[in-house]
Structure 1
Amino acid sequence: MADFELRQITLPTGVTLNVAIAGDPAAPPVLLLHGFPESHRTWRHQIPALARDHFVIAPDQRGFGHSARPEGVANYTPDKPVADLLALADHFGLAPFTLAGHDWGGAIAWMAALQNPQRIARLIIVNAPHPLVFQRSLFDDPAQREASQYITAFRNPDFEQFLARIGLENFFDTTFAKHADPALLAPEKPAYLAEWSQPGAMTAMLNWYRASIIQVPAPGDMPERPPWLDAPFPPLGQPTLVIWGMQDSALLPVQLDGLDALVPDLTMVRIADAGHFVPWQKPDAVTEAMRDWLAARNG
């Protein structure tokens, strides 16, 4: 028996999302956002644990999993998934809620929390960089710039042709799996390939990168520095838990530098023996950190 229910929910933003739901709707709400190249299954270990005393909502974000895949890069600018998550909260009549995000889900969570402090009471971030820290690091830290060159590759309009040549299974083995524990990934591989092989699925997922305004200079380039990188940036007002797998080879530990100045009410949990996909690489550590922090915050 599944630990959660799956529903197809049509939102006023024009998309239908596949949404995992668990727990008592009267319990404190927690909304979980996954990243690339996953789905609600990112949180498969956390959903049942959190549902013991929370109402848990974990959508496949637009373009991912079994949610709608609208055509065109413009449908994946960050304001669109932010609107989706707020519409999803409205659908369930949520009062201020806890928002958690990993990878791209974390990027959307940072943006949503900064823009909607009246809606989002607490924030949990898992291996997802603050927008200012990330963009600064792409200009100032050569190692992070080098590690982020995959973004430029994903933005290439010919990338789908490359995938067609090598095959999705080869992409899984050579690109995705190198950032995670192959032994943990092996039993999950069929589910990933089934999601990715749906018509238009890879293009929809890649369009998240193509729609982003983040600049990724090539190694050695000296582009003009955006003025906002050195201007005052609004602090995040919500209590925030940041969980970080310290062996992440795509988002380096530099992403934690200076974060306390931008997030005054910050709790940091570093997991030394995990990489980027820490929610399922070290699920017990992530779940314990989330539950302990929420309990301490009456969340």
Structure 2
Amino acid sequence: MARLRDCLPRLMVTLRSLLFWSLVYCYCGLCASIHLLKLLWSIGKGPAQTFRRVAREHPPACLNDPSLGTHCYVRIKDSGLRFHYVAAGERGKPLMLLLHGFPEFWYSWRHQLREFKSEYRVVALDLRGCGETDAPIHQENYTLDCLITDIKDILDSLGYSKCVLIGHDWGGMIAWLIAICYPEMVMKLIVINFPHPNVFTEYILRHPAQLFKSSYYYFFQIPWFPEFMFSINDFKALKHLFTSHSTGIGRKGCQLTTEDLEAYIYVFSQPGALSGPINHYRNIFRSV
């Protein structure tokens, strides 16, 4: 009996782990099936257009607008990765570091670069695997530990020990974790559209409705298929994210311009450009 009592806790942990991963992959399969049905439906409606994917060859002028700041690159010694960022404002001023979400890149912060450059050294970073920043091939290179270390190394490379840290969506998750792991690096923390990680984890486990709303987390666990879905029909799904009533910018007069939308399509139409951002999500359950 004593031996059984000793083994019981380990057995419970094993069973909980098996149940957790069974639920994850069953839900992944369900999400994939739903998206596959949508794909087959679109094929039936317009087969001539469904699989057309057009990679943009020339960047729109807005990506090289000098009023937004200067394009810079820095190579991190430990990881060997080259990071791209756009910086505005004088060197020596307090640093404001901007971390974008998905599916985005530095250009999402174009308004903030103009607005705050008089008071701060504003840096809009392309996260690992996004935009012009290097994108490692292997999924294991996108763990939360790697992403947190990236921000710490970037801060060191810029010559700062602390910053005003602002994150949106997935960048908000990273910003929370930076504040938790390295509070001395954060003068002020602003997080947009992402709750505290502990709150989010507890809430999603207790509220099934949120599980369905966050179904894309599970869909992104599937190899290559999410990238395919985003890119078919000339990146129609990507355009939908930015322009639809449910996920696009809602305020009148604030919608993306045609040139803005073309900037996003240009970046994500480059070969392999979707895999890096999606790989961020492919490690989330291991982190949880």
Q: TM-score, normalising length from structure 1?
A: 0.67
Say yes or no: does 1:2 pair with 2:67.
yes
User: What SS is found at the alignment partner of 1:185?
Assistant: coil
The Cα of 1:95 is off from its aligned counterpart by 2.7
User: What SS is found at the alignment partner of 2:149?
Assistant: helix
The Cα of 1:192 is off from its aligned counterpart by 0.8
Q: Distance in 1 between matches of 2:126 and 2:262?
A: 17
1:146 counterpart residue number: 212
User: What SS is found at the alignment partner of 1:21?
Assistant: strand
Say yes or no: does 1:207 pair with 2:207.
no
Q: Distance in 2 between matches of 1:81 and 1:92?
A: 17
Change (3 A) 1:104 1:168: farther
Q: Distance in 1 between matches of 2:240 and 2:106?
A: 23
Which entry has the higher C-alpha Rg, 1 or 2?
2
The Cα of 1:214 is off from its aligned counterpart by 6.9
Letter in 2 for 1:55: R
- Say what the alpha-carbon RMSD is for the aligned residues: 1.9
The Cα of 1:143 is off from its aligned counterpart by 2.4
Aligned length: 215
Say yes or no: does 1:38 pair with 2:104.
yes
Say yes or no: does 1:195 pair with 2:263.
no
Q: Distance in 2 between matches of 1:110 and 1:168?
A: 35
Change (3 A) 1:39 1:56: same
Say yes or no: does 1:156 pair with 2:227.
no
The Cα of 1:168 is off from its aligned counterpart by 4.5
User: What SS is found at the alignment partner of 1:27?
Assistant: coil
Q: Which of the numbers 136, 158, 164 marks the counterpart of 1:70?
A: 136
Letter in 2 for 1:180: G
Letter in 2 for 1:99: L
The Cα of 1:173 is off from its aligned counterpart by 3.2
The Cα of 1:189 is off from its aligned counterpart by 1.5
Q: For residues 170-213 of structure 1, give each alpha carbon's deviation from its aligned partner in whole angstroms, at most 9, with x where no partner exists.
A: 11233453311387134211111111111111111110110112
Say yes or no: does 1:184 pair with 2:255.
yes
Contact 1:30 1:54 in 2 (8 A): yes
Q: Distance in 2 between matches of 1:138 and 1:168?
A: 33
The Cα of 1:8 is off from its aligned counterpart by 1.7
Q: Distance in 1 between matches of 2:193 and 2:82?
A: 27
User: What SS is found at the alignment partner of 2:172?
Assistant: helix
Letter in 2 for 1:203: S
Contact 2:155 2:162 in 1 (8 A): no
2:145 counterpart residue number: 79
Q: Distance in 2 between matches of 1:152 and 1:43?
A: 28
Q: Distance in 2 between matches of 1:39 and 1:104?
A: 11
2:169 counterpart residue number: 103
Letter in 1 for 2:248: A
User: What SS is found at the alignment partner of 1:71?
Assistant: coil
Residue identity (%): 33
2:88 counterpart residue number: 22
User: What SS is found at the alignment partner of 2:285?
Assistant: coil
Q: TM-score, normalising length from structure 2?
A: 0.70
Q: For residues 153-180 of structure 1, give each alpha carbon's deviation from its aligned partner in whole angstroms, at most 9, with x where no partner exists.
A: 122113234345x334211233453311
Greater CA drift, 168-177 or 150-159:
168-177
Change (3 A) 1:209 1:3: same
Letter in 1 for 2:276: A
Q: Distance in 1 between matches of 2:227 and 2:68?
A: 35
User: What SS is found at the alignment partner of 1:45?
Assistant: helix
